[in-house]
Amino acid sequence: MALPPIQQAKWLPADTFKNEVALVTGGGTGLGLQISRGLAELGAQVVIASRTQSNHGPFLEEAEARGWSVESLQLDVREPAQCQSLIDGIVERHGRLDHLVNNAAGNFVCPTHRLSANAWRAVLSIVLDGTFYCSKYAGRHMLKAGKGTQLNIVATYAWTGMPGVAHSASAKSGVLTLSKTLAAEWAPHGVRVNAVAPGPFTSDGAKGNLWPDDETEERIRSSVPMGRFAGKAEVAAQCLWLMGPACSYVTGDCLTIDGGLSLGAGRLFADGARPGKKDTPR
């Protein structure tokens, strides 16, 4: 029986990442998994790495069924030595590393006055430190090769802030600035560094940690101007596009993929120009 097509891969040529090697941290679940699937479908050899290797099963099974060339490794991005040896190992085995996706993250909602030092540190070290370690060690190989792309996953609250996620917002803000800094440092050497800021999309991690009940989920959904959450494949498609040759002159940018959510102030008068007056487009 033919397997269904990979939705996120359908907008790019089938050989977009042919013979290239990509590392996706947290690549076995959520958005990371969708990016990994897209990269593999478009020809890349994909290495996924995360703390919990048992999360890699679905990707490995699909890879076998579709004939993708993939590898699954254990990695805690908070450990710089682990990041270095994992990345050096990839280059030793495959001879190259063309793409890094810093997708591994940790997040939960907690009022700042209740956030323990340990909780703050846990998120900062996964999101900001982990991104720095992987970027640095992958960057060394990419600089030597004179090419490569790095993609960082942030959120629009990296520049707006948001109640309840001081740890994640601060970390993502740092990641965004790191992206721009590395983009400028490494542009002369052919290495591009970009970011994406997805709005809410459905994933088990987000559902469990950010909108655990239906009421919260509905409140968030109704505040998105497009009136819906993104599909994971829809977000992954933009990630692939930014990493691919169509964006060869794009670096240091952050693409917002949020159905207009960050234009949220525009919802203030969404029901009509005058308060209390409803209007429907004709």
**Residue number with CB closer to ligand COA (17 or 211):** 211
Q: Is 25 helix (H, G, I), strand (E, B) or coil?
A: strand
State the Cα angle at 89 between 83 and 94, rounded to 5°. Answer: 130
CB 78, min distance to ligand COA, A: 8
**Residue number with CB closer to ligand COA (25 or 45):** 25
Q: Do 24 and 48 touch, CB atoms closer than 8 A? A: yes
Residue 116 sits in the site that holds ligand COA (CB under 6 A): yes
CB 28, min distance to ligand COA, A: 12
In angstroms, the CA 98 to CA 17 distance is 9
**Residue number with CB closer to ligand COA (1 or 81):** 81
In angstroms, the CA 164 to CA 169 distance is 9
Strands (E), 40-137: 45-50, 70-74, 99-102
Q: Do 46 and 20 touch, CB atoms closer than 8 A? A: no
Residues 123, 171, 193, 196: which binds ligand COA (CB under 6 A)? 123
Q: Which residue is nearest to ligand COA (CB)?
A: 106
Residues 38, 106, 139, 244: which binds ligand COA (CB under 6 A)? 106
Residue 85 sits in the site that holds ligand COA (CB under 6 A): no
In angstroms, how far apart are the furthest CA atoms of the chain?
A: 65
Position 30, amino acid = G
Residue 49 sits in the site that holds ligand COA (CB under 6 A): no
CB 138, min distance to ligand COA, A: 21
Half-sphere exposure of 252 (CA within 13 A, CB side): 11
Residues 7, 79, 108, 147: which binds ligand COA (CB under 6 A)? 108
The mark string for 167-206 relative to ligand COA (x by CB under 6 A, - otherwise) is: --------------------------------------xx
Selecting among 133, 137, 157, 249, the annotated active-site residue is 157
Residues 122, 143, 220, 250: which binds ligand COA (CB under 6 A)? 122
215 Cβ contact partners less than 8 Å away, ≥ 6 residues apart: none
72: nearest Cα among 133, 64, 153: 64
Residue 127 sits in the site that holds ligand COA (CB under 6 A): no
In angstroms, the CA 276 to CA 32 distance is 43
Position 278, amino acid = K
Residues 4, 54, 67, 118: which binds ligand COA (CB under 6 A)? 118
Q: Which residues pair with 73 in a beta bridge?
A: 49
Q: Is 157 a catalytic residue?
A: yes
In angstroms, the CA 125 to CA 167 distance is 10
CB 206, min distance to ligand COA, A: 4
Tokens 């280059």 -> residue: 91
CB 105, min distance to ligand COA, A: 5
**Residue number with CB closer to ligand COA (119 or 162):** 119
Q: Do 20 and 44 touch, CB atoms closer than 8 A? A: yes
Residue 152 sits in the site that holds ligand COA (CB under 6 A): no
Q: Catalogue the active-site residues.
A: 157
Which spans of this chain sit near ligand COA (rule: CB under 6 A)? 105-108, 110, 116, 118-119, 122-123, 126, 205-206, 209-210
